[in-house]
């Protein structure tokens, strides 16, 4: 079940919210746990083993956490942690790198949640959860189960044990975020996705320069709007349920460096790699050579986590390489003009290797950037886009660029809008609703497009 599907929006969500808030506060975790399992079961109906694996790993790690806390000998404690972390990742790598087994939905994200929980117990940051229903709710909570945000247990511990009463302001804020995310996914991400799909249809080997650039930027915007939209929807659903999830995207395409980009992109995942890979390796508190080694290892591990293909490893290596170069030549970098534009171009370039099915296809796209041929310009008009589609995309990009710049200057569009006259406010609300309604009507009868990060 996808957040943007009609079944979720008009059937599952209203029924679940009704059941959730009529349940007494003391049993609300049980309702959320049961609803989350039902949500996951509907998504893996063709993979019944996926639900079984989620439940087994959740229960075993609940037990592992209690056992780990009760071990006082440092050597034995470290050995036990190593064994259980190996056990958790064994299942992830078994499915991710097997050619014969399909990847269980959300396994990459809930494995990171489970291992972060164990690491935090080991480091003394948290106490183990003694109630299985509460722990199961934390792991399987449907807004964040499939693709995050990866949320530390300490951040949600008090919220899980609180009453979480129904508050109209939580509903209003949550639905605002959910609708914004739905708009990013349905109106923008899907449209940009069709552009990149047509690049592959035309053929990587014969791709022209303008088409290569268009394809690269189309995918850059698609993955941003798709995953940022999902994160907004997840955070919004969390707010409706009375939870506060961390921000996952902070306008990454206005970053002034690759390092800044990764502080803004998929923040919860970047934080996980920083806390549990980069810092344990030594972080930046070592010699410059060791620091660069740690950066490269962290990004290579990130590439491996995303998939078994060599192109993912190259993608991770390129990001690590560019970040090392920025640090090594920091004096030169500070003098460069248009740092935001250059960072966006570098990020878009690395996405080619992330998206392409192989390194060779990514190389063909990169070669297409430099291939100049006026006869190929007609390809831009053979991609199935109507004039209306082009106008919508251009206006949307312009609006988002303005929104990013306003955010950078700490100017809130929402605060500005609330200060306008009621006629202006409702004209904007009506316009947004009409665009969403038109998109829903256009997609009616079609299966809801899945989110990109579901495949990881």
What would the two tokens of residue 414 be?
């929402």
C-alpha to C-alpha distance for 289 and 291, rounded to whole angstroms: 5
Q: What is the DSSP letter of 5?
A: S
Place of tokens 């599907």: 5
C-alpha to C-alpha distance for 347 and 361, rounded to whole angstroms: 18
Question: Which member of 306, 311, 364, 376 is catalytic?
Answer: 306
Q: How far is CA 131 from the centre of its chain?
A: 29
Q: Give, in degrees to the nearest 5, the angle at Cα 25 between 24 and 31.
A: 75
Q: Give, in degrees to the nearest 5, the angle at Cα 126 between 120 and 131.
A: 110
What would the two tokens of residue 91 be?
């299942």
C-alpha to C-alpha distance for 333 and 340, rounded to whole angstroms: 11
C-alpha to C-alpha distance for 232 and 177, rounded to whole angstroms: 5
C-alpha to C-alpha distance for 427 and 425, rounded to whole angstroms: 5
Indicate if 311 belongs to the active site.
no
Active site residues per annotation: 306
């Amino acid at each position: 079940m996808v957040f943007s599907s009609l079944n979720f929006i008009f059937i599952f969500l209203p029924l679940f919210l009704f059941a959730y808030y009529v349940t007494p506060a003391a049993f609300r975790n049980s309702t959320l746990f049961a609803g989350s399992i039902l949500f996951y079961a509907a998504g893996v109906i063709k993979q019944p083993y996926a639900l079984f694996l989620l439940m087994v790993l959740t229960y075993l790690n609940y037990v592992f956490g209690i056992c780990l806390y009760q071990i006082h000998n440092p050597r034995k404690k470290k050995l036990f942690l190593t064994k259980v972390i190996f056990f958790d990742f064994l299942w992830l790598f078994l499915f991710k790198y097997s050619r014969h087994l399909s990847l269980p939905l959300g396994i990459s994200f809930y494995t990171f949640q489970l291992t972060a929980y164990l690491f935090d117990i080991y480091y003394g940051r948290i106490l183990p959860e003694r109630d299985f229903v509460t722990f199961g709710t934390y792991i399987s909570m449907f807004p964040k189960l499939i693709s995050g945000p990866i949320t530390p247990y300490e951040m949600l511990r008090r919220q899980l044990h609180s009453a979480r009463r129904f508050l109209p302001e939580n509903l209003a804020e949550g639905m605002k975020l959910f609708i914004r995310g739905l708009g990013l996914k349905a109106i923008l991400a899907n449209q940009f996705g069709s552009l990149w799909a047509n690049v592959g249809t035309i053929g990587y080997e014969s791709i022209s320069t303008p088409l290569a650039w268009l394809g690269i930027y189309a995918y850059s915007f698609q993955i941003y709007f798709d995953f940022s939209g999902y994160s907004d929807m997840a955070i919004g659903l969390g707010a409706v349920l009375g939870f506060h999830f961390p921000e996952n995207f902070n306008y990454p395409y206005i970053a002034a460096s690759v390092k800044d980009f990764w502080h803004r992109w998929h923040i919860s995942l970047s934080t996980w790699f920083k806390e549990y890979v980069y810092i344990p390796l030594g972080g930046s508190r070592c010699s410059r050579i060791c620091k660069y080694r740690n950066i490269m290892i962290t990004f290579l591990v990130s590439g491996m986590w995303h998939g078994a293909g060599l192109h993912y490893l190259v993608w991770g290596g390129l990001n690590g390489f560019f970040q090392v170069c920025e640090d090594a030549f920091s004096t030169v970098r500070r003098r460069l003009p248009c740092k935001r534009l250059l960072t966006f171009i570098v990020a878009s370039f690395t996405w080619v290797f992330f998206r392409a099915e192989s390194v060779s296809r990514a190389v063909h796209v990169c070669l297409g950037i430099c291939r100049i041929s006026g006869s190929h310009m007609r390809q831009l008009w053979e991609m199935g886009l109507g004039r209306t589609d082009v106008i919508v995309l251009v206006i949307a990009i312009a609006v988002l660029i303005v929104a990013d710049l306003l955010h950078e200057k700490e100017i809130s569009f929402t605060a500005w809008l609330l200060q306008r006259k009621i006629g202006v406010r409702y004209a904007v609300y009506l316009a947004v609703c009409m665009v969403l309604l038109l998109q829903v009507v256009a997609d009616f009868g079609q299966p809801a497009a899945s989110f990109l990060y579901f495949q990881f």
